[in-house]
Amino acid sequence: MRLQGKVALVTGGASGFGAETARRFVREGASVVILDLNGDGAMQVAKEAGNAKGLKGDVTARTDIDEAVRLATKTFGRLDIVVNNAGWTHRNKPVMEVSEDEFDRIYAINVKSIFHMARAVVPLMSSQGGGSIINIGSTAGIRPRPGLTWYNASKGAVNLVSKSLAVELAPLNIKVNCVAPVIGETGLLEAFMGAPDTPETRARFIGTIPLGRLSRPADVANACVFLASDDAEFLTGVILPVDGGRTV
Catalytic residues: 151
**CA distance linking residue 150 with residue 230, whole number of Å:** 35
Cα–Cα separations (whole angstroms), residue 224 to 84, 180, 204, 207: 11, 11, 28, 26
Identify any residues that bridge with 180 across adjacent strands, giving them in sequence order: 241
Is 17:181 a contact under the CB 8 Å cutoff?
A: yes
Instruction: Please report which residue ranges of 50-130 form alpha helices under DSSP H.
Output: 62-76, 100-107, 113-128
Q: Give the number of other CB atoms < 10 A from CB of residue 245.
A: 12
Q: What 8-state DSSP symbol labels residue 240? A: E
Dihedral over alpha carbons 78, 84, 85, 86 (to 10 degrees): 110
**CA distance linking residue 201 with residue 187, whole number of Å:** 16
**CA distance linking residue 39 with residue 59, whole number of Å:** 12
Strand residue runs (E) in the chain: 7-11, 31-36, 52-56, 81-84, 131-136, 174-181, 239-242
Q: Which helix (H) or strand (E) holds 40?
A: helix 39-49
